[in-house]
């Protein structure tokens, strides 16, 4: 059924307004990062900088060990994402292709953990990692949230669509379970893995509360944690904060732009809806 020209116009108009409202705060931050401190505090505020100050970035880099925090965030994000994909895919493979007593119950209990607020388990989890000597380390940020019920759910539901006859044929040919998992199931699950990869990267990169609890030493700060500490006792240098904020969102923006095609394909294949 074809839409009329008027209907299409209103659809695009509403979508354009929604995109503008969502993108406006980001644009405001980017433009404000080139303003001087006086112009940022000016009332009424200005949208475009009257004078573009590029030294906000160079000045912030002199006071702010950005490369150290960038490395910490990249290491945490990539390592945590790799562990998330490995652990969640193995759990999903077991829950989708192995038939054992209590399989459905285990899956339901795992999904039930989604209803438990993160704040409820933070203290017990912190006590565990402190006992294990992982407090004030990047591994203390990486390991606890590596296995996620959301990731297991996404991958399991997709693996259920893989034909059991294909796996049985591989077993007849002499393939063992790990080979079936690594060489058959994982390649076929690539769209769902792409979705989980994007989600995991965004979760880890933007995580603030858990690193705030685990990390006290500045040399282990991630970008998000460092931005919160990048302020004076009495005055906040917002021109520097905004400049570093823009630099902190650039990597995740490039990653999302690169993986956007795979994300759309994965969501279409897995049937996920926002």
252-271 pLDDT tens trace: 888 877 777 766 666 665 55
pLDDT at position 273, please? 45
109-162 pLDDT tens trace: 888 888 888 888 888 999 999 999 998 999 999 999 888 888 898 898 888 888
Element (H, E) at 263: helix 238-270
pLDDT tops 50 at residue 1: no
- Greatest mean pLDDT among 27-31, 78-82, 99-103, 214-218 lies in 78-82
> What percentage of the chain exceeds 90 in pLDDT?
16
Q: Where are the domains of the chain?
A: 64-270
The pLDDT-based confidence of 5 (bands split at 50, 70, 90) is low
Q: Say which range, 148-152, 189-193, 237-241, has the weakest mean pLDDT.
A: 237-241
Q: How many CB atoms lie within 10 A of CB 181?
A: 19
pTM: 0.81
Give the chain's mean pLDDT.
84
pLDDT tops 70 at residue 176: yes
User: Measuring CA to CA, how many Å separate 274 from each of 92, 134, 139, 267, 268?
Assistant: 22, 35, 31, 9, 12
DSSP string, 137-167: SHHHHHSTTSS-HHHHHHHHHHHTTS-HHHH
pLDDT at position 177, please? 84
The class of domain 64-270 in CATH terms is: mainly alpha
Q: Which residues contact 22 (CB under 8 A, 6 or more apart)?
A: none
CA–CA separation, 9 vs 32, rounded Å? 33
């Amino acid at each position: 059924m074809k839409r009329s020209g008027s209907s299409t116009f209103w659809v695009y108009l509403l979508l354009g307004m929604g995109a503008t409202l969502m993108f406006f705060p980001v644009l405001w931050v980017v433009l404000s990062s080139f303003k001087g401190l006086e112009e940022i505090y000016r009332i009424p505020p200005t949208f475009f900088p009257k004078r573009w100050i590029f030294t906000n970035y160079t000045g912030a880099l002199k006071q702010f060990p950005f490369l150290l925090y960038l490395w910490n965030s990249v290491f945490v994000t990539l390592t945590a994402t790799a562990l998330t994909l490995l652990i969640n895919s193995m759990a999903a493979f077991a829950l989708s292709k192995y038939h054992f007593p209590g399989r459905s119950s285990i899956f339901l209990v795992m999904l039930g953990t989604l209803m438990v607020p993160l704040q409820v388990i933070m203290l017990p989890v912190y006590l565990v990692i402190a006992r294990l000597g992982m407090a004030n380390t990047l591994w203390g940020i990486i390991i606890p949230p590596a296995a996620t019920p959301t990731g297991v759910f996404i991958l399991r539901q997709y693996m259920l669509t893989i034909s059991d006859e294909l796996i049985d044929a591989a077993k007849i040919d002499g393939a063992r379970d790990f080979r079936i998992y690594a060489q058959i199931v994982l390649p076929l699950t690539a769209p769902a893995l792409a979705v989980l990869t994007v989600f995991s990267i965004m979760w880890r990169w933007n995580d603030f509360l858990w690193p705030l609890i685990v990390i006290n030493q500045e040399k282990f700060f991630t970008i998000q944690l460092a931005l919160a500490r990048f302020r004076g006792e009495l005055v906040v240098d917002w021109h520097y904060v905004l400049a570093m904020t823009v630099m902190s969102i650039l990597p995740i923006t490039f990653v999302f732009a690169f993986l956007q095609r795979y994300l759309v394909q994965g969501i279409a294949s897995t049937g996920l809806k926002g």
